[in-house]
Amino acid sequence: MRALVLEKKGELALREIALPLDVGPDDVRIAIHTVGVCGSDVHYYTHGAIGSYVVRAPMVLGHEASGTIVEVGANVRTLKVGDRVCMEPGVPNLSSRATKLGIYNVDPDVSFWATPPVHGILAPQAVHPAAFTYRLPDNVSFAEGAMVEPFAIGMQAAARARIVPGDVAVVVGCGPIGIMIALAALAGGCSKVLISDFSAPKLEIAARYPGIVPVNIGEQSLVEAVAVATDHWGADIVFEASGSPKAFADLFEVVRPGGAVVLVGLPVEPVALNVPAAISKEVRIETVFRYANIFDRALQLIASGKVDLNPLITGTYPFDDSIEAFERAAAAHPEDVKLQILISSEKG
Ligand code: ZN
What b-and-e string marks burial along 30-59, b requiring 16 or more CB atoms within 10 Å of the CB? Answer: bebbbbbbbbbbbbbbeebebeebebeeeb
In this prediction the pTM is: 0.96
- Evaluate whether residue 304 is within a structural domain: no
The CATH number for 155's domain is 3.40.50.720
pLDDT beneath 70: ranges in the chain: none
Q: What is the bridge-based pairing of β-strands 133-135 and 64-72?
A: unpaired
Rounded distance from Cα 256 to ligand 1 centre (Å): 31
Same domain for 43 and 102, yes or no, is yes
Q: Give the H or E element holding residue 225.
A: helix 222-229
pLDDT digits (tens, 9 = 90+) for 147-167: 999 999 999 999 999 999 999
**Which residues surround the ion ligand 1 when the cut-off is CB under 5 Å?**
38, 64
Same domain for 124 and 42, yes or no, is yes
Rounded distance from Cα 283 to ligand 1 centre (Å): 29
For the beta sheet containing 2-8, the strands, ordered from the edge strand earlier in sequence to the opposite edge, are: 11-16, 2-8, 59-60
Rounded distance from Cα 292 to ligand 1 centre (Å): 14
Rounded distance from Cα 270 to ligand 1 centre (Å): 22
User: What pLDDT sits at residue 347?
Assistant: 77
Rounded distance from Cα 282 to ligand 1 centre (Å): 32
Rounded distance from Cα 113 to ligand 1 centre (Å): 10
Rounded distance from Cα 280 to ligand 1 centre (Å): 35
- Evaluate whether residue 202 is within a structural domain: yes
- Evaluate whether residue 300 is within a structural domain: no
Rounded distance from Cα 204 to ligand 1 centre (Å): 22
Number of domains within the chain: 2
Rounded distance from Cα 45 to ligand 1 centre (Å): 14
Can you give the residue range of the structural domain that contains 223? 151-287
pLDDT digits (tens, 9 = 90+) for 46-64: 999 998 899 999 999 999 9
CA dist 245 and 235 (Å) reads 20
Rounded distance from Cα 39 to ligand 1 centre (Å): 7
Rounded distance from Cα 150 to ligand 1 centre (Å): 5
Rounded distance from Cα 257 to ligand 1 centre (Å): 33
- Evaluate whether residue 194 is within a structural domain: yes
pLDDT digits (tens, 9 = 90+) for 162-216: 999 999 999 999 999 999 999 999 999 999 999 999 999 999 999 999 999 999 9
CA dist 102 and 98 (Å) reads 6
